Copies of this chain bind each other. A is one copy, B any other.
Amino acid sequence: MSKVVVSLGELMMRLKPVDKLRLRQAQSFEVCHGGGEANVAVSLACMGIDSRFVSALPPTELGEQATIFLRGYGVDVSQISRIEGRMGLYFMEAGADYRSGCVVYDRDNSSFTNLEASSIDWDAAFKDAGWFHISGITPAISIETRDLAVQSVKEAKARGVHISVDLNHRERLWQYGQSADQVMPEIVEMADTLIAGRGDCRACLGFSPEGDGSEDGWYEELSAEAMRRYPNLERVAVTIRNSTSAERHHWKAHMRTATESIFSRAYDMQNVIDRVGTGDAFSAGFIYGCFTGRSSEDTLNFAAAANCLKHTIIGDANLVSAAEIDELANSTTLGRLRR
């Protein structure tokens, strides 16, 4: 079997005031980098998986800075073009207790939006590839990136690479005249693994179960319906979050294959440090489990523990090792200081 996990998407610079300061109070910004698929690529590299990220960055010092971040954490950056365009940015104000956080996107006209499918060397991009991951962010940005996303999935398919799609629906991004449910089904029809949050299937694929009244039952219906509608899917994973404040989130995940329907251990987080990229941390953990041949249950619990740890890591990507994730997944002793 081949060895590299490939992902394609946009990497942005994130600018966030220190502590819990509001944007309007900021005299400085903490800088990090992130983006749905990039977070998956970095997380996988930290887990010890060969990870390649296909993207575009501007030919400036800002593109250099972003490259240093990805390469430092071990991601193969050889398929990232340095082409004209802006560095995609987003400004983030952390929430606190009852106050919601907010994000100001500033990603229009980035180099990534100028990346054309025809300019990519797909053979190089998929060299030794065993898995390809993409999210619903890329097709949402612009017509050009929509075409790039569809083409990338076709190229992976043509090479027999396993394809995972995280629907990752963001209403605010779909501004170019199409809605998610006009675009995403074509992509999901080519996928082998589907990852979705609570409202994603309704928004992207146009269905939502009635439910039998129980919360778990609703999620089981959801995954069953996805498998029915997209028989190409080997498995579906659904993430389930309930938050009661900016720092307190209850989280678990559900997964269905042709023969299994299971729920992960639930985590009752009470001091969320940075919730950005937690879904991507789940995706990375989920891919890791599948890719290394773990059982469904081990995979789902590994992915849930990865997600849980990401809530404590500053930045968008989950900078933890597979051993650390396993330690949490298998542990009931919590909050120790290892010394």
Contact = CB atoms under 8 A, between A and B. Distances in A.
Interface of A: 15, 18-32, 60-62, 64-65, 68-69, 71-74, 86-87, 89, 91, 93, 95-106, 108-109, 170, 172, 243-249, 267, 269-273, 275-276, 308-309, 311-315, 319-320, 324, 327-328, 334-339
A266 to B, nearest CB: 12
A80 to B, nearest CB: 13
B269 A98 contact: yes
Contacts of A335: 95, 98, 100, 243-249
Given A100-B338, A270-B248, A21 B314 contact: yes
A62 B31 contact: no
Contact of A245 (B32, B271, B313, B315): B271
Nearest to A98: B308
For A62, A100, A106, A309, which residue has the most chain B Cβ atoms within 10 angstroms? A100
Contacts of A19: 314
A75 B269 CA distance: 39
Contact of A30 (B28, B271, B315, B334): B28
A45 to B, nearest CB: 10
27 contacts: A20-B313, A22-B61, A23-B64, A24-B68, A25-B65, A25-B315, A28-B30, A61-B93, A87-B106, A95-B312, A97-B308, A98-B267, A98-B308, A98-B311, A99-B312, A99-B324, A100-B335, A103-B339, A105-B339, A243-B334, A243-B336, A244-B334, A245-B270, A247-B271, A248-B270, A248-B335, A276-B337
B69 A102 contact: no
Contacts of A172: 339
A77 B254 CA distance: 39
A60 B323 CA distance: 13
Given A20-B273, A22-B313, A309-B98, A62 B104 contact: yes
A52 to B, nearest CB: 15
B23 A338 contact: no
A61 to B, nearest CB: 4
Given A29-B28, A314-B19, A319-B24, A334 B273 contact: no
